Chain A
Amino acid sequence: DAKTTQPNSMESNEEEPVHLPCNHSTISGTDYIHWYRQLPSQGPEYVIHGLTSNVNNRMASLAIAEDRKSSTLILHRATLRDAAVYYCILRDEDFGNEKLTFGTGTRLTIIP
């Protein structure tokens, strides 16, 4: 499985944008970039995913580098509820391959 590299931790002020980086230099052409987050005492939850183009949804935006070797998850206006561990995951979208390979993620702390 292709590997991702994320900072261990980050801090951000409440109500400010947050940019969470992820490096994936060995990404293959069929790997999608997924982001999940895990709030304290909960299971992970899906945030966003993309292949080549930038993506937006109600939770966040995903900016993907042109060479696809890195990506950035953007939370436009952080709230205290966004404090969580954020995981960047590469996944080959073959049918039947639903395995998610988690790293250690980035622990995001929001400062009130």
Chain B
Amino acid sequence: DAGVTQSPTHLIKTRGQQVTLRCSPKSGHDTVSWYQQALGQGPQFIFQYYEEEERQRGNFPDRFSGHQFPNYSSELNVNALLLGDSALYLCATSWTGGNLYEQYFGPGTRLTVT
């Protein structure tokens, strides 16, 4: 059983560009959350998708948007990249019908903005 997978592993972009990160949930999971982790900090919640809709959102600007597909996979899009967007982006998945206490995280995508 594959766990949560994310692609790409690493990415380098220039200020002002746009980026798309991808997440495939653990088998059987239907909910996807995205987190941003700056160096030396804990992960910060960006938003969560369930049934192809954004259900919760953290304190992030509209430059951060997402999408969930019918197969429950998800994308995180960031427009007009800033140097401060450099971080590890983590995807976490869970199953709404099960216990809500455990989220499974992927290994993350390391984004560097130059």
Across the interface, B45 reaches (CB within 8 A) one of A49, A87, A100, namely: A100
Q: Is the CB of A103 within 8 A of B31?
A: no
Is A81 an interface position by the 8 A CB rule? no
Tell me the count of chain B residues lying within 8 A, CB to CB, of chain A.
27
- 0/1 string, B71-108, CB within 8 A of A gives 1: 00000000000000000001010100000111111111
Q: Does A24 contact B (CB under 8 A)?
A: no
B42 contacts A105, CB within 8 Å? Answer: yes
On whether the beta carbons of B56 and A101 are closer than 8 Å, the reply is no
Docked pose: A101 CA to B50 CA in angstroms:
19
Asked if A99 and B43 sit within 8 Å, CB to CB, the answer is no
Number of contacting residues on A, CB 8 A? 24
Given contacts A96-B56, A97-B56, contact A102 B105 (CB under 8 A): no
A34 to B101, CA, bound (A): 8
Contact of B43 among A42, A96, A102 (CB under 8 A): A102
Whether the pair B100, A99 counts as a contact (CB closer than 8 A) is no
Contact A99 B56 (CB under 8 A): yes
CB-defined contacts of B58 to chain A, threshold 8 Å = 99
Quick check: is A98 within 8 A (CB to CB) of the other chain? yes
- CB-based contact A43/B90 at 8 Å: yes
B19-57, CB < 8 A from A = 31, 33, 35, 40-45, 48, 50, 55-56
A16 at the interface (CB under 8 A from B): no
CB–CB B106/A99 < 8 A: no
The answer to whether A87 touches B42 (Cβ under 8 A) is: yes
A-B residue pairs, 10 tightest by C-beta: A43-B105, A102-B42, A46-B102, A49-B101, A99-B45, A102-B43, A44-B105, A43-B90, A99-B56, A43-B106
Q: CB within 8 Å of A: which residues of B?
A: 4, 31, 33, 35, 40-45, 48, 50, 55-56, 58, 90, 92, 94, 100-108
User: Which chain A residues have a beta carbon within 8 Å of chain B's beta carbons?
Assistant: 32, 34, 41-46, 49, 85, 87, 91, 93, 95-105
